Structure 1
């Protein structure tokens, strides 16, 4: 079975599928094979795997393509100004942009884009607790940077 899996992965990669996606597709196909209520004869397994793998990849490709279209329509459209998109908060945005990329991203998603912690976790493939801890650390770094510039909790 491992040889079959390697062959199907190689076949998908030769067809232009990235290695990680090919491995995911083959894993899905083997799970499907194990869950089938009837056994496939040994001489037909290879054909089943190849046929199922290419169909599964096409379905995955279409689903991902549709998902990206939905994201573009939903998130890349003109929207109302958030309270932070005024001149009054330019100094804050400048300080956020000076932070390390990961810290700036978390603060941007949470405060400026309005994502919840759970949504950020799903978006970045993190656990909820990792997002909470990282967001707390990012806030602390921003607070420290603002203090160095002469701002404190009372005058922001």
Structure 2
């Protein structure tokens, strides 16, 4: 082999990388595209390959870098920056369709579970859920802030038991 790689040499070794491309992309067509991009980039940059080093590892590195770059490009395209005071990054997808039937059903069960919680715990919990601060709840209910925190905690514990199937309130 000379100081530069020949296309035939790259092509022979690249066959071993096809399974890696499939594993990365999880799609045959995308894997073929990734393989093609890898081979083109390797051939164009063949003078950068150091003779005596592992050709397959070099090709794998090129493939991995192309995959990561493409993935980041797609992720950036699907990310919006919220321009409000509290900036949030929102991931979007053209393929997302919301199924309100499940969420409506879940909300009915959640509201029913909340309604079953004793009023002494339910009221501070609902106020907290609506966005009131502990201090505001304490003042509104004329109880100590520690009691407010305790009652909200107790309400959460009661709801955890009755809403396990949704995985809510585990955090």
Question: Looking at CA atoms only, which structure, 1 or 2, has the larger radius of gyration?
Answer: 2
TM-score, structure 1 length as denominator?
A: 0.38
TM-score (norm 2): 0.35
Q: More helix per residue: 1 or 2?
A: 1
